[in-house]
Amino acid sequence: MAGDVAIVTGSTAGLGKEIARLFAAEGALVVVTGRNRERGEAIAAELRASSGEASFVAADLTVDDDAYALIDATIARYDALHVLVNNAVSPEIIARDGKAADVSNEVWESMLRVNVLGPAWLLQKAIPQMLEQRRGSIVNISSRTAERASPRLAAYTASKGAMNALARSITLDYGRDGIRCNTVQPGYILHERRDADLDDERRRRLEGMHLTRLGTADDIAYAALYLASSEAEFVTGINLPVDGGSTAARGLVLG
């Protein structure tokens, strides 16, 4: 990815942070973004110290003007945009999800803003730049839940399904213009904060959802790297499960 300009949304923690680190290590000029300025500035500084060029742009992607400003700031700084990774997520909203009849209007709207409207607003600005370059790669970080629903996650499941459908539409409309769009569909990925105190019983249950082992952020980062890079220029419109085999066959428990 030497010289490629890449925005990774939600890159102040978790999956996005590891994707940003790997992209930078592979030579990309990475734009770190999220709502937490302190964490974002620290990660951008870490990437500059270890890998080269990186910057931070604060953005709340549930707000359309913030999404537009993120793309504008990136192009103003680097005069290009080659890769957009739609990874931003809101654990706070997910924690308030539930069965379809129980989900509040506020949660429905917030979830759609994070997983559908935010990426759509970014694409409104990113795609014209990619068309001008005749090259671009969009990688959406979705969820296994979009294909195999989990209990009490109605809004999350629906919004990730919409993200998957949006990727197919982009593939069809812009494939002949050199713009690729692919989706990574993670299984359960260990999270630095959420799983810091994982007890043996929950670990056993989570491991039982997979045929191999629990996933790590690195697993998703390497998948995103491949799809974003020029090595995958013949790959577009795919939904890549990175889930320890749980798409091919269900593990010991229903996830």
Distance CA 29, CA 34 (A): 17
pLDDT at 122: 98
N-terminal to C-terminal alpha carbon distance within the chain: 35
Provide the pLDDT confidence category of residue 104 given band limits of 50, 70 and 90: very high
Give the model's pLDDT for residue 197: 72
Q: How far is CA 13 from the centre of its chain?
A: 12
More confident residue, 112 or 215: 112
pTM of the model: 0.93
Q: Which residue has the tokens 């009490």?
A: 152
**Of 5-9, 61-65, 85-89, 202-206, minimum mean pLDDT range:** 202-206
Determine the pLDDT at residue 252. Answer: 55
Give yes or no for residue 228 having a pLDDT over 80. yes
* Distance, CA of 99 to CA of 118 (rounded, Å): 24
| Location of structure tokens 């890549």 | 240
CA separation for the pair 78, 178 (Å, rounded): 20
Instruction: Give the model's pLDDT for residue 254.
Output: 46
Please tell me the distance from the alpha carbon of residue 252 to that of residue 246, in angstroms, as a whole number: 10
* Mean pLDDT for the chain overall: 92
Contact 16, 34 (CB under 8 A): yes
Token pair of 100, please?
């379809």
| pLDDT surpasses 70 at 255 | no
Share of the chain above pLDDT 70, in %: 95
- Mean pLDDT (whole number) for 16-28: 97
What is the topology classification, in CATH, of domain 5-242? Rossmann fold (3.40.50)
Over residues 118-131, mean pLDDT:
98
What confidence tens digit (pLDDT) does each residue in 52-89 have?
A: 899 999 999 999 999 999 999 999 999 999 999 999 99
**Domain ranges for the chain:** 5-242
Within 13 Å of residue 16, how many CA atoms lie on the same side as its CB? Answer: 27
User: pLDDT of 47-59, one tens digit each?
Assistant: 999 988 999 999 9
Residue type, 214: L
Could you give the residue numbers annotated as active site?
156
Among candidate residues 72, 32, 81, 80, the one with its CA nearest the CA of residue 56: 32
Please report the pLDDT score of residue 3 as a whole number.
Answer: 95
